[in-house]
Amino acid sequence: MKKIFTLVTVVLCAMSANAQDVYNAIVDGKLASEFAAVAGESGGVANNTVNGQSVVVMNAGKATVTGVGGTTPANDTEIGGAAQQIVPGAPVEGRENTYYIESVGAWNDVNWGMKNQGDIDFWYVTGTGNPYVEMYALQNSKDGELIEGSYKADYVYYEPDGSLGMPITGLYYKFTATAKGAFKVKVWANKGNRKTFVVNAKDMKAQPLYASGYINGVNDADGKKRLLTVQEVDSVHHVYIYDAYDKMVKANEENPGTYTEEQLAEKKAECDAMAVERQYVIGNGNQNFWGWLTFDIEAGEEYWVFQHSSQIGFGGFEFHEGKTAEELISGIEGAYVYTTNFSTYEDDETGERMTWKGEKIVGAGQFTSTEEEGAIFGDYFQNVSGPSPRSNYCLLPEDVLAHSGKTHELTIAFWVSAEGFTPDQYTYAPMFTAYAQQNNPNTWPMMALQSRGPIQVNNAGWCDFLGAQHVNGKVNIYNANSWEAGDAAYNFVNNWLEDQKWHYYTAVFTDTNVKVFLDGVVKNEWNIDGVTEGQIVSGLFTNGADLKYVCLGGNQAWDWGDNDAPFRFARLMIKNTKMSAGEIKAQMLADFPGYEEYQSGTGIMGVNVTKTTTNGAIYNLAGQKVNDTYKGIIIKDGKKMINK
């Protein structure tokens, strides 16, 4: 007889504006009554040793969620040893040395526990056992020989098309509602790259879901965990799917015949198959994911949520009657902010250095990480200038310019340095470009940010950003060539990158105004009517999603012979809101606490500040801690003295 714990209670909590039903698995830092009753006094263990199953029912009005905690047979301590607990039945046709299970002598206990995810107070409960759709007894072998009377469990996993059926054991959750609507479910996953499914039990097929939240190791520039939107979670693990295929295509372009058409087609098909699977991935590598799954539900139908070969933690849910998942995502997402500090990790499978946000190197540039004393940015992207143009850049996630359609505002900001290069090596090199596709020269849609000061937008209407629209009547041009001298449309200014120091570049767009800030100060500004050709920026918003090939540091698509931008780039940020001068200055201070001293003329890299009046930490002019052996400007009793 099956031994199942079933507890039912009604929990009515404070609701958000659109949420009809809300349930929290953790209340005031303690397990909700349903889970606490299952856990009992056994330290969170359900102690179901007959069938390894524990059931918790959570009813919050029109929505009901049933958590099923199933287990797997206890592991043998020794093949064929005393712990052997699986008794085989009849053989399974077509599967060698495999039998139906007649009985299991011992199960791993089900566990409902309480955990806290680090510094963000994300509470959830967990059960045990992977969700298997079939389970058999497989005869053990050793050194190629079958062991008499020795068996272990053999499992079959769920397939998204439903062809293999639904889980019969392991951990899963069942969602139902008396009305049509959408669920937003709080979850935790130990390994985000394990496929996560929302399955309609009627046809047993997986359906679309949206994931937003946190991925271990993905932080903002200040080191705090980054709350990722649905689009950001999606981009973190999607960029590299076609990487191997792209490399093969490029190799053929450089050396025709390196790969045959059949080899390319085979690799393309392989990548396409991966792209189909990616819709079920909610994290990155073997990193933890904690956040929310949002999905649609029909009235009276049952939907199961589970992972392919792991367990998923549960923190609670909201049910929104009459809403769709897309509507909830729109409300949940809020402002879009993409940031990256170009920090990397080593891929478990390939050993390749990869960034957490999915950026990747094209050409000879590199992601650089340094722990040198006094280094301003520990991680940055270092690009190169050649030898071939349109070959060296950092490719960004394809959706970073796709989020301004509602706000009609856009901010692009980053730190940049030309250290090690002369002005003639980057005169016309664009710092930031975006196109519909690779190798799409001199056409629209496109946009570009030039280190020389101008901006270009050519996307469902174009904007020339001429002197006529400039607030000062002339466009400030940095790093000009001699042939441009005397042009009435330009005001020629000393090259801002020539000092080889770090500078902060910001471009801010609206429908009728565009500004370029250098180190937090407006250097170019245009007022445009947004209607006349030559004065249209709105296409950047309405058709921004078409700009999928987004490059940092590369003259990627134009068929001109100008070098790629050989700059260092750090702390890139893209927002679908406009930043004010005050907000830009605040961001500069957050990124680089000592930038004002650094830019003042005395704050040259290599000159360090020490202090002799206290025993506290010592800082250089960049705001980083240094040791007490550094020499430079000594601050004592309010006076500055040079110590050589």
The model's pLDDT over 474-493, given as tens digits with 9 standing for 90+, comes to: 899 888 765 665 667 788 88
Condensed to tens digits (0 to 9), the pLDDT of residues 547-590 reads 889 999 876 666 667 778 899 999 999 998 899 998 899 889 88
Give the pLDDT confidence of 206-238 residue by residue, as tens digits. Answer: 998 888 888 887 776 667 777 887 877 765 555
Q: Is the model's pLDDT at 5 over the cut of 50?
A: no
First to last CA, the chain: 86
Query: Cβ(199)–Cβ(208) under 8 Å?
Result: no
220 class by beta-carbon count within 10 Å (0-12 exposed, 13-18 middle, 19+ buried): middle
For residue 590, the surrounding DSSP H or E stretch is: helix 581-591
**Residue 629 burial (10 A CB sphere; 0-12, 13-18, 19+):** exposed
Mean pLDDT for 596-612 is 50
For position 202, what pLDDT does the model report? Answer: 94
Eight-class DSSP state of 197: E
**Alpha-carbon gap, residue 557 to 551, rounded angstroms:** 10
**Residue of 287 and 205 predicted with greater confidence:** 205
Instruction: Please compute Rg for the chain using Cα positions.
Output: 30
Question: Tokens 């009276």 — which residue?
Answer: 300
In the 3-class helix/strand/coil scheme, how is 79-102 assigned residue by residue? CCCCCCCEEEEEECCCCCCEEEEE
43 phi-psi bin (left φ>0, alpha ψ -120 to 50, beta other): left
Look up residue 630 and give its two tokens. Answer: 């550094």
253 by Cβ neighbours in 10 Å (0-12 / 13-18 / 19+) ranks as exposed
> What SS3 state is found at 597?
helix
The predicted-structure confidence for 375-400, as pLDDT tens digits, reads as follows 788 889 999 887 666 788 999 988 88
HSE-CB of 160 using CA atoms within 13 angstroms: 14
**Residue found by looking up tokens 């009435």 in the block:** 488
Per-residue pLDDT tens over the stretch 501-516: 999 999 999 989 999 9
pLDDT, position 394: 92
Q: Tell me how far apart the alpha carbons of residues 39 and 57 are, in angstroms, rounded to a whole number.
A: 14
pTM of the model: 0.54
Closest CA to 557 of 480, 445, 474: 445
For 37-49, the pLDDT digits (tens) are 776 655 555 554 4
Question: How do beta strands 475-478 and 205-206 pair?
Answer: unpaired
Which two structure tokens, joined as six digits, stand for 538?
């709105």
Of the listed ranges 288-297, 462-471, 548-557, the least confidently predicted one is 548-557
What is the pLDDT, as a whole number, of residue 410?
A: 93
Q: For residue 515, what pLDDT is reported? A: 96
Mean pLDDT of the chain: 79
- For 58, 124, 313, 394, 427, the CA distances from 7, given in Å and listed in that order, are 8, 18, 19, 54, 71
368 vs 553: CA distance, rounded Å: 15
Least confident piece of the model among 331-340, 355-364, 441-450: 331-340
Alpha helices per DSSP H over 316-396 = 325-333
- Its sign, for the CA torsion 78, 81, 86, 92, is positive
H helix runs in 471-573, sequence order: 539-542
The pLDDT of residue 605 is above 50: no
* Residue 442 Cα distances to 47, 363, 433, 437, 555, angstroms: 69, 21, 12, 12, 11
Of 122 and 410, the one with more pLDDT: 410
CA 552 to chain centre: 18
| pLDDT in the model for residue 507 | 97
What are 114-135's pLDDT values in tens digits? 888 776 778 898 888 889 999 9
* Secondary structure of 26-49 in HEC code, one letter for each residue: EECCEECHHHHHHHCCCCCECCCC
Q: Which residue has the tokens 């959830």?
A: 124
- Looking at the chain, the whole-number percentage of residues with pLDDT higher than 90 is 26
